[in-house]
């Protein structure tokens, strides 16, 4: 594996994922330090609201929102879903009593994981393909030769683009499990 792949993709990816877990522990630690650990249980609500708010991107993508550009809304999605997930992790705590909440949490973790894969790996793959296209064009290659040269790159890109197959259905399962968890909390408390 080349150094640039490691520096450009793997390190930021691991940092973002690791920081989510780190911040969850830090907030939990600070709450215990201040003897207000009970606040953690209530972070389920702001966490859920942040993740729901992150779906403004979906509204933008479907042209329900006219102002701003899609790239900014995607950044909202990424940061808000990430921050919401930190709060949900604090909310979940380290005990295990109820399956539903934990299943929803596992789905959320897979979603954040796959979201980060999308952000760092796919986006960069697209960028490096565009860079290669420009470099080949600068060498004076015809459009047809460029397409030939990029054929295998584009297949790889097409394959990894399939990551949506993970991100989207898992998001749906996450959504359903979260609703069921919240309904059981409302019914049994
Ligand atoms: C409106 C939002 C939410 C509310 C009001 C809420 C409420 C609660 C409450 C009251 C508990 C404590 C249950 C107990 O100790 O028996 C709990 C536990 C938990 N919640 Fe939530 N929750 C919300 C959202 C979420 C979401 C979105 C997830 C996951 C993605 C989640 C995951 C969990 C987990 C893992 C536990 C711990 C279960 C255990 O002790 O085994 N919660 N929630
Ligand atoms: C709680 C966690 C998450 C959930 C439930 C979630 C859910 C979703 C959903 C439903 C979409 C589809 C949007 C649409 O087509 O309408 C989406 C797209 C996307 N998400 Fe997430 N996401 C989460 C976390 C993340 C994170 C942490 C990142 C990156 C840091 C991320 C990056 C992306 C990207 C790059 C797209 C693709 C946009 C596109 O293809 O148009 N997601 N996410």
Confidence label for 111 from pLDDT (cuts 50, 70 and 90): very high
Q: Closest residue (by CA) to atom 26 of ligand 2? A: 115
Task: Show the tokens assigned to 146.
Answer: 């460029």
Task: Show the tokens assigned to 169.
Answer: 């259905």
Specify burial of residue 111 (Cβ count, 10 A radius: 0-12, 13-18, 19+): buried
Verify whether ligand 2 is closer than 6 Å to residue 114 (CB atom).
no
pLDDT tens readout for residues 26-35: 999 999 999 9
Proportion of the chain above pLDDT 70, given as a percent: 93
Closest CA to 109 of 1, 17, 7: 17
Verify whether ligand 2 is closer than 6 Å to residue 119 (CB atom).
yes
Distance, CA of 129 to CA of 124 (rounded, Å): 8
Handedness of CA 118, 120, 123, 124 (dihedral sign): negative
Does position 1 have pLDDT exceeding 50, yes or no?
Answer: no
- Return the ligand number nearest the Cα of 106: 1
Q: Closest residue (by CA) to atom 33 of ligand 1? A: 101
Verify whether ligand 1 is closer than 6 Å to residue 182 (CB atom).
yes
pLDDT tens readout for residues 124-175: 777 878 888 899 899 998 988 888 888 777 777 776 667 777 889 999 999 9
Mean pLDDT (the chain, rounded): 89
Alpha helices in 117-150 (DSSP H): 123-138, 143-149
Closest CA to 108 of 14, 42, 187, 17: 17
Q: Closest residue (by CA) to atom 15 of ligand 2? A: 58
85-98 average pLDDT score:
91
Which residue has better confidence, 11 or 162? 11
Does position 183 have pLDDT exceeding 90, yes or no?
Answer: yes
Does position 2 have pLDDT exceeding 90, yes or no?
Answer: no
pLDDT of residue 4: 60
Distance, CA of 88 to CA of 48 (rounded, Å): 7
pLDDT of residue 164: 77
Distance of CA 174 from the midpoint of ligand 1 (Å): 13
Distance of CA 102 from the midpoint of ligand 1 (Å): 8
Confidence label for 6 from pLDDT (cuts 50, 70 and 90): low
- Return the ligand number nearest the Cα of 85: 2
Triad 14, 17, 19: Cα angle to 5°: 100
Verify whether ligand 1 is closer than 6 Å to residue 108 (CB atom).
yes
pLDDT of residue 147: 83
Instruction: With residue 2 as reference, give the H or E element that holds it.
Output: none
For residue 95, which phi and psi values (nearest 5 degrees)? -105, 160
């Amino acid at each position: 594996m080349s150094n640039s792949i490691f520096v450009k993709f793997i390190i930021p990816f691991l940092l973002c994922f690791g920081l989510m877990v780190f911040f969850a522990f830090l907030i939990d630690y600070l709450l215990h330090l201040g003897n207000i650990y009970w606040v953690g249980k209530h972070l389920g609500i702001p966490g859920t609201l942040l993740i729901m708010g992150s779906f403004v991107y979906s509204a933008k993508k479907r042209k329900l929102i006219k102002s701003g550009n899609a790239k900014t809304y995607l950044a909202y999605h990424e940061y808000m879903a990430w921050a919401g997930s930190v709060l949900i992790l604090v909310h979940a705590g380290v005990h295990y009593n109820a399956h539903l909440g934990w299943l929803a949490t596992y789905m959320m973790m897979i979603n954040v994981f796959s979201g980060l894969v999308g952000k760092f790996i796919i986006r960069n793959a697209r960028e490096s393909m565009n860079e290669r296209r420009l470099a080949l064009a600068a060498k004076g290659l015809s459009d047809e030769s460029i397409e030939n040269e990029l054929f295998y790159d584009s297949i790889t890109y097409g394959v990894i683009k399939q990551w949506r197959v993970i991100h989207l259905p898992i998001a749906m399962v996450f959504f359903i499990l979260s609703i069921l968890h919240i309904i059981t909390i409302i019914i049994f408390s």
